[in-house]
């Protein structure tokens, strides 16, 4: 067991490669054996499993051809049709293959991609803000890359996403048109046969604005969101990633069922009542780049009941210490009083809680796990969090 002097913490657990069709719950249980043997597994710990290995074990993959066929059927696209794509994020991993499948659904037709500016939804810069302001003032708010006086690239990846997305569409056999405009309804100026509201967290608002003027509009969540084709997710294409050429890995399906079964297996095998989550991108905004890392639709794709609707709250210890010292209390008395205060139940608006913003426990744990495991993958698809639950 960890010594009394250690508070809440988290560490990664290494395990072997997870293959398509793997019995992941059994493999996780095996990976936990040395952890339990070292006395590091306790009741109320939280097992955090990355969404990528869950989806892989579910063989939750689609091809761009499957995506194109699904779109033709779902949107009743005509031959050489025209489709609008509104507010996608600029990401090779997250959206490039989705866009390829969209373009394949209208061979010989046209794909109009309407980007937001100056950044996409999660903070990726498309055009410098000062440049966008000048051009928008000149054009009335909407413009195209042809209005740029020079080429603008992403400050971290060096990619010109307006060129990249245009190339992807044309390589798939459709005509490309790239527009920058922050008004969703603007897409209808191009007379599309169908529109996909491609944003993540603001998708319903975007869809509602377009739907007020045009009927054939869906979100990414409405594509491959039922078991009809084998591979599917309740989140549709949201949370999908590039797996290989022409192949997308969807987010896991039935995540809550998976974590319940994992919880049951750990209890049966080790006699420990742990909670479990499936985590995706952490809800983290990078202070240097301004990029909001949550490109997934949620931080946790599956949560056991002991975490659901639970808020992480606390007291502001430094406030309490200052208050007690101001009252002339001794260090011994302050330590005793703090121990008592920590155990008290109090309202979220109390002075003692001031500055400790309540956050959903699943978001805190998922974000923590994502930071521990790392976007570059540290070989630890499981993270054990300790000391967060009473």
What pLDDT, in 10s, does the model give residues 43-74? 999 999 999 999 999 999 999 999 999 999 99
pLDDT: is 344 or 196 the higher one?
A: 196
Output the CA angle 218-220-223, nearest 5 degrees.
Answer: 80
pLDDT band at 289 (very low <50, low <70, confident <90, very high): confident
Closest CA to 384 of 294, 270, 297, 296: 270
Alpha-carbon distances, residue 313 vs 83, 127, 305, 346, 361 (angstroms): 46, 39, 18, 10, 9
pLDDT band at 354 (very low <50, low <70, confident <90, very high): very low
Return the pLDDT at 268. Answer: 98
Q: Residues of the chain with pLDDT > 70: what percent?
A: 89
Return the pLDDT at 315. Answer: 54
Strands 110-115 and 175-180: parallel
121 φ/ψ angles, rounded to the nearest 5 degrees: -60, -30
- DSSP calls for 356-369: ---EEHHHHHHHHH
**C-alpha 56 chain-centroid distance:** 17
What's this model's pTM, rounded to 2 decimal places? 0.88
d(CA 283, CA 277): 15
pLDDT band at 13 (very low <50, low <70, confident <90, very high): very high
pLDDT digits (tens, 9 = 90+) for 185-225: 999 999 999 999 999 999 999 999 999 999 999 999 999 99
d(CA 131, CA 116): 14
């Amino acid at each position: 067991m960890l010594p009394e002097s250690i508070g809440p913490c988290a560490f990664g657990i290494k395990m072997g490669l997870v293959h398509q069709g793997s019995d992941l719950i059994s493999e996780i249980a095996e990976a936990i054996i040395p952890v339990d043997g070292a006395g590091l597994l306790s009741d109320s710990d939280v097992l955090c499993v990355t969404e990528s290995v869950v989806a892989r074990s579910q063989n939750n993959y689609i091809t761009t051809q499957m995506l194109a066929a699904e779109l033709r059927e779902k949107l009743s696209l005509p031959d050489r049709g025209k489709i609008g794509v509104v507010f996608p994020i600029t990401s090779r991993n997250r959206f490039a293959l989705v866009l390829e499948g969209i373009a394949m659904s209208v061979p010989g037709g046209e794909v109009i991609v309407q980007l937001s500016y100056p950044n996409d939804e999660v903070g990726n810069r498309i055009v410098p803000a000062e440049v966008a302001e000048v051009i928008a003032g000149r054009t009335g708010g909407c413009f195209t890359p042809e209005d740029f006086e020079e080429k603008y690239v992403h400050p971290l990846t060096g990619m010109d996403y307006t060129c990249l997305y245009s190339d992807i569409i044309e390589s798939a056999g459709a005509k490309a048109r790239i527009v920058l405009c922050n008004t969703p309804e603007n897409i209808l100026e191009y007379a599309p046969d169908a529109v996909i509201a491609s944003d993540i967290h603001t998708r319903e608002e975007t869809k509602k604005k377009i739907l007020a003027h045009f009927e054939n509009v869906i979100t990414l969540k409405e594509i491959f969101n039922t078991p009809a084709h084998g591979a599917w997710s309740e989140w549709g294409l949201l949370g999908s990633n590039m797996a290989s050429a022409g192949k997308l890995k969807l987010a896991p399906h039935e995540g809550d069922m998976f974590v319940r079964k994992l919880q049951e297996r750990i209890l049966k095998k080790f006699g420990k009542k742990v909670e479990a989550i499936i985590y995706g991108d952490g809800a983290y905004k990078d202070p240097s780049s301004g990029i909001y890392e949550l490109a997934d639709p949620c931080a946790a794709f599956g949560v056991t009941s002991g975490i659901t609707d639970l808020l992480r709250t606390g007291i502001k210890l430094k406030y309490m210490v200052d208050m007690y010292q101001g009252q002339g209390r001794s260090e011994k008395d302050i330590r005793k009083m703090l121990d008592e205060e920590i155990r008290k139940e109090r309202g979220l608006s109390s002075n003692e809680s001031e500055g400790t913003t309540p956050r959903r426990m699943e978001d805190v744990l998922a974000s923590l796990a994502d930071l521990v495991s790392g976007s570059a993958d540290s070989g630890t698809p499981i993270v054990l969090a300790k000391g967060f639950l009473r």
